[in-house]
Each structure stands twice: as structure tokens, then as C-alpha cells.
Amino acid sequence: MKIKLSKVTDIPENNSIATIFSESSRFPFQLMPEELALWKRRPEKTNTLLIQRLPDFLFLVHPDMEKQENSILEACRKAGASWMEIIRKEKIEGTVVVGMTESAHTAAFLEGCLLAGYSFQKYKREKEDIYPSRIFIMDPGLSDETLMDLEIVTDAVFWARDMVNEPLSSLNATQFAEEISRIGEDSGFSVDIFHKQKIEALKMGGLLAVNLGSPDPPTFTVMEWNPVNSINQHPVILIGKGIVFDTGGLSLKPTLKSMDFMKSDMAGAAAAAAAIYAAAKAHLPVHLVGLVPATDNRPDGNALTPGDIITISDGTTVEVLNTDAEGRLILADALCYAKRFDPLLVIDMATLSGAVSIISGIHGIIALSNNPEYLKQLTDCGESVYERIIELPLWEEFATSLKSDIADFTNTGGRDGQTIIAAKFLEHFTGYPWIHLDIAGTAFIFEKDGYRSKGATGSSVRLLFNFLKKFK
């Protein structure tokens, strides 16, 4: 169920109210003496308070205006998520959000509220529907474009979450490609799906090798959004790792908190497609191409075997020492394919290395890049939407352990520094401005975190949309 945002000039009757205010703000309504007393007696450093006004509620939000703006925006998002929890718990049908500080704070509150409204209930017999179909907003400085962007981005994030939350039984590589085609038709970007015969003709040895153990064929999906008012002749390319399920192959993963949530191993592909979907819906004037190599990774009798040597589409040979380091193999083919577009910039998103979580936990995206200028722009965008980026170096020393005695490279290298080693492997197949985002820590979480739902989070969709909206 989508929530419609509607601007109003007066507070509608019979609605619960959430308001964001600062010390100097005047409330647009009269607080009763006992309500004012409750606010003054709130615990120290508590910036929100829920007051029951039978039959409605009043939710007061007072962000700490002494903090940096990015932190204020995030506090507003989390307050919005708390308000959605209250709406659900109390089954509030009518609500109005009143902004009394910067309009950006109101927008952030609404963003957190909308994102917290997500629930994956497709396979539940009894489905909940206890959030409002409409939220009224009273904030004269909030533009219609901002509200439209909030609805578009929320829709894109929800689609990405849905895709990641789907089990393999309902979303193999072909079905995933068809879902991408569906949102392409809905938003106006083109989709071309390569099936196994075309993939073989293109000699995509990485994708074909990982697919050897699967009963389902691979796909390679090419998306393009090229509006007539595009500001860039050469496209920005988004590549997403599309392993729809990862058992590890013959290098089998353990089950608990490893293989059991590996339906999330296509989160990078979901993010790439969702970002292009949002860009097309918002008619952003940026020429975009999306590439999604997709397959599952399973241990069949014909499966890729440790010690096998495969050939990537550019002729590079790889000694596969660990079949669970498969994401970089399918991304290598996609990175090679990107060269035919003469790209302005390529960004790949992947749940690539479990070692990422040791560095960033669930709180940050790891980035490695050969272009400091574009990475700085992306990092700044990450701060503003709170999908923060931690940069690691692409030092040449980390490529040393990728050397093979019998092929051009191995696919794993040493144990230490795996996040960087994986990126060094990918770097070999670039030759253009490139940013690698490892979202293994942020794409799928085991406990709800504010507006980030338990399970799939839609990591990097908001980051990419913000980046593309500001792209020059």
C-alpha cells in the first residue's frame, strides 16, 4: 500500500499531529498547560515526546540544532520512523506533519516515516494494513518536487527490498530479469535481457562458470535511460552483482547466519535497477546504463570446482581457488561489457566480501575507486542521506596475492585484506573512471534499525538517486 503525501495550509480536523520545531518556533496550535509541563519534564536529551489527546495523538520532535546538519536530518528521519511505529501500534488513520524548522527537516521526517512503513507480507496468510493511505503536510517551504521525489525514492527502495526478500523459489535469474523489465515498462527505461545463448556468444566465462551448478540458466540484463535532455553524452553505468542465491558452490557456506540469508546476494543488482527506476520516474536528465549479470551459485555435479581455470570475456584467465568468491567472476564480465559504452563513470554495487562487516558493521558502505573526484561527490551525497561511505585504498601491494602460477590471476588471494583484494581483482577489468561499493554490511540486517527494516534494507538506492540528481 502506497502512502500519498498531500500539502495543506491548515491543520485538518480529526488528525493526529507530528510537529518538528526548534526553541524559537511557535506552535501552530495551543499546548495545554499539562502538555507543556510534560514537555518540560521529559528526560534529559530526549528530543521526542508522545502526548495522547483522546482520541488523537500529538508527537513533538525537537532536533538538537547544535549538531551538524547531516546529523539533524538523520535524527528527523529516525523520529519519522518512530512516528510510523506509533501510527501502526495505535492504528492511527489520519495524520498531519507540521514543519516548524527548515523544510529539509520536514522532508527527512517524512522520509523516515515512509521508509519505516515497509513490510514484506507476501507470504503471510494474515496481512496487516494499519498505516494511513495519506499523510497531510503543513510546511509552506516544502516543494511539490521534494514530495514527488520522496514518493519515487520510497517506491524504489521498497522494490529493491522486495526483490532481496524474495526467496530463490520465486526469484531465479530469469524471473529477476523479468521483474526488472516490468519496472522498465512502468518508468520508461529500456531493458534488453540476454539469455544463455547470447551470454555464450559473448564468451562471458565468469557468469557461465558460476552458473554451471545451477538447474536454471543465467541472464545478463542491460538497462538504459537516455532522456532527450541528457546532460552527459557518455553514460554513467550502474552494475549490480546478481547472485540470486549463493550456497558457496562446492566451497559450501555454513548454514547459520551465512547461507540462510544468501537470497540477499543480489542486493547490488536490485539497487542498480531500483536507482535507474527512480531516475527514470523522476525524469533526471542523466544518461544511464545498468548491467546485471545474474545466476545462483549451487553445488551440482557439473559445478565449478576449486582449481578450475576459467576465461573472462576479455581473455583474462582465472584460477578459481574458492567457488564462494563468485561475485567477482560475474562482475568481471559486466565490467568488461561496460567498455563498449565508453562510459563517463562506472559504479558497481555488490555484497562482495563478508570481511566488510568487520570494518563497518551495518553502518557504512565500503568504497574503493580510481577517481577521487567522483568518489568525493558520492561520499558527500552519502553523508546527506546517511548512507555513509568508508573509503579503502587500492594499494598495489594487495594485488600481489592474486598472482597464479598457472593462470593470469586467482580469484581469492590471501586471507587478510580480502575486501581490498576483491576490489583489486575487479580493478583489472576497468580502464575507466570507476567506483566499487561493497554493501555486504548494509544490504541485509537482522534487527530493525529505525527506518531500515529487518531483512532487506534497499542499501545504496537513496545514495545513488541523490548522487544522480546532483550529477554534473
3-state secondary structure of 210: helix
- 356: which DSSP letter? H
| Helix, strand, coil percentages for the chain (3-state, nearest 5) | 40, 20, 40
Look at the block and give the residue holding cell 558452490: 249
Q: How far is CA 96 from CA 7, 136, 368, in A?
A: 9, 4, 42
Q: In 116-172, where does DSSP find H-type helix?
A: 144-165
Amino acid present at 440: A
Annotated catalytic residue 415: no
Of 62, 58, 59, nearest to 100 by C-alpha is: 62
Integer Cα distance of 60 and 20 in angstroms: 6
Q: How far apart are CA 401 and CA 414, in angstroms?
A: 6
Dig out the grid coordinates for 32 from the structure.
495545554
Distance CA 400, CA 198 (A): 34
Q: For residues 41 and 398, give the distance between their C-alpha atoms in angstroms, rounded to a whole number.
A: 56
Could you say which of 203, 253, 388, 448 is catalytic?
253
* 8 Å CB contact between 263 and 245: yes
CA distance 291 to 293: 7
User: Do 433 and 375 touch, CB atoms closer than 8 A?
Assistant: no
Rounded Cα gap, residues 371 and 364, in angstroms: 20
Which residue carries 540476454 as its cell? Answer: 194
Q: Alpha-carbon distance 380 to 77, whole Å?
A: 18
The answer to whether the CB of 443 falls within 8 A of the CB of 456 is: yes
DSSP state of 262: G
- Of the listed 196, 328, 424, 462, which one is catalytic? 328
Is 328 annotated in the active site?
yes
Return d(Cα 105, Cα 71) in angstroms, integer: 11
Task: State how far the alpha carbon of 451 is from the alpha carbons of 110, 160, 203, 390, 448, in Å.
Answer: 11, 15, 42, 21, 8
The Cα angle at residue 282 between residues 277 and 283, in degrees rounded to 5: 95
Q: At what angle do helices 267-281 and 461-469 cross, to 10 degrees?
A: 40
* Residues that are catalytic: 253, 328
